[in-house]
Structure 1
């Protein structure tokens, strides 16, 4: 009997050790895969680490920290800390959804000013907190939490760190991991430097946020893309765009990549106020058309002899940059066609990139474009310049065709708007293609930026290239490109400062209205 027990215990011990080793090897295998793809795909995987030697030193440090005791979430945190050296908002692992934790809600909606995080909306129970800034969480200053946030979720500048911290605070699963909390946060608020108070704010199973009325309201708000005429005399054009996406993009996908259409529709209806019907053609038709909306807006502005256009990108985290090119032509005419942005886009050719654009291998890619690239090669091109090898008339014709031929009818009817002054509203949510739109408008002139700086850096790694780790099936993304829009080491290379930056005091001045940036802009126009 004793001999049998010894054998049984030995077998159990061996099995347990084998399971622990398998778990540890699983994470090591995934990390090795990620590093291989990072080196092969990313345009500059070493510089952010201090060079190739330091890259491998930090890689070894991570390998030494991988153990059988890790959970998937802890593995993601560890790897994102490693990747944060790149300062790249397009390169990270995504946290897997943990159904056992649930999806509780913080009863506060937060907003970012240039100098603070503050409460924009709450449930009825906490409505006295609206406008209060947050100075501490669990007894630790926001400044210190911002430092931790930079390594928890990759960011490119201080706006990105603020954006990620707000995301962490309000997301129950992320807050659990970041603050190591149970079911509540102790938050210290302030309404002035000498007035601080703390409250325990528990996450709730559900929360109902009242629709706080704004001094400015649009009857056309569909959630994605819409226009209004605003101001005292309804003579100021206003275009709100919450993702660089429109019907033209969806129609193009349906025609050329029909297998991707459901993803496009899910993207669009994630913003729209209505739900999909299940009829693809009908659902496509209900997505607003950018060029149709812009045509109708231009008609209204012409009727009112309007001299001002406000483009609202505060909620816009990007999309398909090329769709904005015809708008730039209508706003700037031939100046845009001949403008040299003196900017560059560098792209790395890799298997992941080829897979993303629909090629199985480098030979198929070279054959399609009559090229002679190898895996690992770079492409170098100007950024923003309109088809530099074409004549001026050829350039005009390309842009009149709309987005790959879609939307041309409305563009042909749209009168040039080369005499209007433009205001762009932005926030830390403004990212990627939305940042590009802001950048182009600013560089081309007649444009002022109002709000809080975007989380996108001017000189930054770009383009989401998706990957899935083979063992854990955790998903993530690696950049395949680098854009250089400004001189290296300049302030704008890291952060695009608005002409009129909104501080906490500015939001307070306008009663913490959700459209404070818009009210500020109308005030600037009136004065």
Structure 2
């Protein structure tokens, strides 16, 4: 019985893939027209950040421009651009949103933007000789300009969201082709490694599947990271990427470190029970520093927000000036940002790190509420608005801005945590 069920599922998947590859120009146009009509009905407030006339013009222009020269990937990118034009970090084209899943292939390296530029942070082992190279351009176009160009397909609300998401597009041959950064089968990256500039030319045959990752960090066994070849130990935030949350205590400095990676229950422990345990230990240990690390946390269940904020704010051991520190970054998103803002409003916490990647007034609670009739593409749209502050802010800005350099990452120096630990 199980074998029959698996065959049915597999056959259904193959049928859907084949159908998507054989969609006609008219069918794509009908899908986009359907999308344009459904988005205002399904989204809680589609035209808050984008004018209705602008949205309608973009969809009409796309419908009129599609012809037989548009391949499937080009149309998918254009549909993603339409959805992203509403500037809502929680509304996206399913399977093409890097925070959850990015179905396009990648060249055998992953980029990251640091304070001093965009670098190859991780590679497939067959490509590791290029680890740590700084990327200067793609096909002669400045890398920062390329980053901005491809960012239009991602649901971005501020420049930190662009830093976070656009790098996925810069290594995808499908994306680069769709944006005409390349118009042929050869893609040339200008890179600098060990103070020597060189050119790296790739073709679609060099592409691989996206590597497995945990909380945005590449953990694939067939890949290597630029910080793997140093004698220094990994920073704390990279040591337990298989856990949703955990804590450690340094008896010599009386410092408790809590890494909180997802706002949800783990398989082994209820989230609120975890924080009860943390607060109890903090009181028993008579801590001098309490570090809550939200840097890898992209959110989760909203029902936990207020209880966590209340528990930490009411703890006499934790909620003290120069004791309580919260680490945030461009990945601190959604429910995690609401927790961070809640602590900013109700506690004495000091915030260290990067600004967050969404506005303080944002839409969320996404639902898969549109399926395009011909392609079968699914779109998730926000169904609720959240306001973490009275007046909308572009992001949550830290008290201490710490921007990591590539050298910091390569040598496993956690400048953000170090600032919190050294602050007096």
Cα 1:22–1:166 change in 2 (3 A) is closer
In the other structure, the counterpart of 2:343 is: 441
Residues 517 and 235 (structure 1), Cα distance of their counterparts in 2 relative to 1, 3 Å cut: same
Count of residues in correspondence between the two structures: 375
Larger radius of gyration: 1
User: 1:518 aligns to what?
Assistant: 417
The answer to whether 1:508 aligns with 2:407 is: yes
Tell me the equivalent position of 1:209.
224
Q: Which runs of 5+ in 1 are unaligned?
A: 1-20, 248-285, 334-413
- Matched position secondary structure for 1:59: helix
Q: Is the 8 A contact 1:225 1:288 kept in 2?
A: no
Question: Which range moves more in the overlay, 88-97 or 320-329?
Answer: 88-97
| Structure-2 change in CA distance of 1:95 and 1:184 (3 Å) | farther
Counterpart selection for 1:229 from 248, 251, 255: 248
1:499: how far off? Answer: 2.1
Q: 1:459, 1:218 → 2: CA distance?
A: 28
Question: What are the within-5 Å matches in structure 2 for residues 268-347 of structure 1?
Answer: 286-333=267-314
Give 1:345-494 correspondences, 5 Å limit.
417-419=318-320, 421-466=323-368, 467-486=370-389, 488=391, 493-494=393-394
Q: Distance in 1 between matches of 2:199 and 2:422?
A: 36
Contact residue 299 and residue 334 of structure 2 kept, 8 A: yes
Tell me how far apart the structure 1 counterparts of residues 328 and 402 of structure 2 sit (CA, whole Å).
10
Tell me, in whole angstroms, the C-alpha distance in 2 between the residues paired with 1:514 and 1:166.
23
Q: How far apart in 1 are the matches of 2:59 and 2:105? A: 35
User: Under a length normalisation based on structure 2, what TM-score does the superposition of the two structures give?
Assistant: 0.75
By how many angstroms is 1:298 displaced? Answer: 2.7
Report the Cα distance in structure 1 between the residues aligned to 2:30 and 2:284, rounded to whole angstroms.
64
- Call closer, same or farther: CA 1:230–1:88 in 2, change over 3 Å: same
Structure 1 residues 272-303: Cα deviation after superposition (integer angstroms, max 9, x where no partner): xxxxxxxxxxxxxx444323332332333233
Partner of residue 498, structure 1: 398
1:158 deviates by: 0.6
SS at match of 1:209: strand
Residues 233 and 138 of structure 1: is their aligned pair in 2 closer, same or farther, counting only changes over 3 Å?
farther
Distance 1:116 1:44, change over 3 A: farther
Q: In structure 1, how many angstroms separate the alpha carbons of the residues matched to 2:364 and 2:186?
A: 36
Cα distance between partner residues in 2 of 1:115 and 1:483: 34
Match of 1:148, SS state, is helix
Whether the 8 Å contact between 1:218 and 1:228 is mirrored in structure 2 is no
RMSD, aligned CA: 3.6
More helix by share: 1
Return the alpha-carbon distance in structure 2 between the equivalents of residues 59 and 475 of structure 1.
17
Q: Which deviations, in whole Å up to 9, do the C-alpha atoms of 1:5-27 show, x marking residues without a partner? A: xxxxxxxxxxxxxxxx9823312
Partner SS, residue 223 of structure 1: coil
Give the distance between the partners of 2:208 and 2:63, measured in 1 at CA: 38
Give the TM-score, by structure 1 length. Answer: 0.62
Rounded Cα–Cα distance in structure 2 between residues aligned with 1:523 and 1:229: 18
Q: Which runs of 5+ in 2 are unaligned?
A: 1-21, 98-102, 210-221
Q: Secondary structure at the match of 2:156?
A: coil
SS in 1 for 2:24: helix
Q: Distance in 2 between matches of 1:450 and 1:242?
A: 16
CA offsets per residue over residues 219-276 of structure 1, 9 Å max, x none?
98362323333457152111212221114xxxxxxxxxxxxxxxxxxxxxxxxxxxxx
Q: How far did residue 306 of structure 1 move? A: 0.5
